[in-house]
Amino acid sequence: MAVADLLAVFCNVAIGYLYGAIFRGYTHTIACALQYTMAFASLDCSVWLTVAFTFDRFVAICCQDFKSWYCTVRTARVAIATVYVVSLIRNIPYYFAFEPMWPGVPIDCTEKAEYYSQRGWIAFSWIHNILTPLLPFFVIVSLNILTVRSIVVASRARRKLRAHVSGENQGDPEMESRRKSIILLFCVSGSFILLWLTELVTFIYSHFSNIHYYPSWNHPLYLTFVTGDLLKIVSSCTNTFIYVLTQSRFREELKNAIKYPFRIRLMIVPK
């Protein structure tokens, strides 16, 4: 998930905004269309890996019979590879939605006029936005409700059992682990929902009102669109920071990665 998030930031910010601002007017149309395609695909990877993470926590906590089969290294590898491949394949049509900024001059790119008028492109746009982020919204919220309900019910039963056996409420490592699971779920899923909400509302309003071109950069709808675009990119880099704050194992691995070059340096320095 961290790799997908960093890839989304790289494709949308480093290449999309910075490169576009510096080299706009010098970029070939093919490279421009590829950049937009990779930007959409990387965001899809980030979103659906968040869904996969939420489903993984749901299975681990609520589906004990299914857990032994599903929660394996092999399943994780297959799930991650599937998300990457499917996200790339389903965004390939975006490459054909762009044309040169100026007719006959293969420099820069913009959406074709028929992208907003032909039924095929309109259907593709709606399907794309239903799959990202509307369907993830529904899946994440539903799984989180079921997961939290299961944790709360199990915690109440465990608390009563421990109080009956020991006669007092003592510290319980299992209860602490469940509490951290709830916090992590709400941090990852909640940040995703809040940061994608503006983008979703803007898309629905612009399509129902048939507004796709803005008269000026100061137009309220354009400012809302840019804000939503910024927030959805921010959502792709929040998960890594959430892991750092909440997961002790992730923090330890991050420290090892930072220390590794210095250890190699010390090993090759002659005594």
Structure confidence by residue, pLDDT tens digits, 196-253: 888 888 888 887 777 766 667 787 888 888 888 888 888 877 776 776 677 777 778 8
Global pTM value: 0.78
The residue that leads in pLDDT, 174 or 143, is 143
Predicted confidence at residue 29, as pLDDT, reads 86
What is the mean predicted confidence (pLDDT) over 148-159? Answer: 80
pLDDT digits (tens, 9 = 90+) for 158-187: 777 766 665 555 566 777 777 777 777 778
The residue that leads in pLDDT, 42 or 22, is 42
Q: Residue 256: is its pLDDT beyond 80?
A: yes
Taking each helix axis from N to C terminus, what angle separates 248-268 and 220-246, rounded to the nearest 10 degrees? 70
Nearest to 42 by CA among 99, 3, 79: 3
Q: What is the CATH number of domain 2-268?
A: 1.20.1070.10
Q: What angle do CA 45, 50, 51 make, to 5 degrees?
A: 100
Count of C-beta atoms within a 10 Å radius of residue 75? 13
The residue that leads in pLDDT, 161 or 260, is 260
Nearest to 129 by CA among 190, 200, 195: 200
Residue 44 CB partners (closer than 8 Å, separation 6+): 87, 90, 91, 131, 132
My answer on whether omega of the bond before 106 falls inside 30° of 0, hence cis, is: no
Residue 237 CB partners (closer than 8 Å, separation 6+): 5, 6, 8, 9
Predicted confidence at residue 94, as pLDDT, reads 92
Predicted confidence at residue 166, as pLDDT, reads 59
The domain spans of the chain are 2-268
Q: What angle do CA 256, 257, 259 make, to 5 degrees?
A: 65
DSSP state of 94: G
As a whole number of angstroms, the distance between CA 222 and CA 119 comes to 24
Residue pair 224/198 in contact by the 8 Å Cβ criterion: yes
Predicted confidence at residue 133, as pLDDT, reads 83
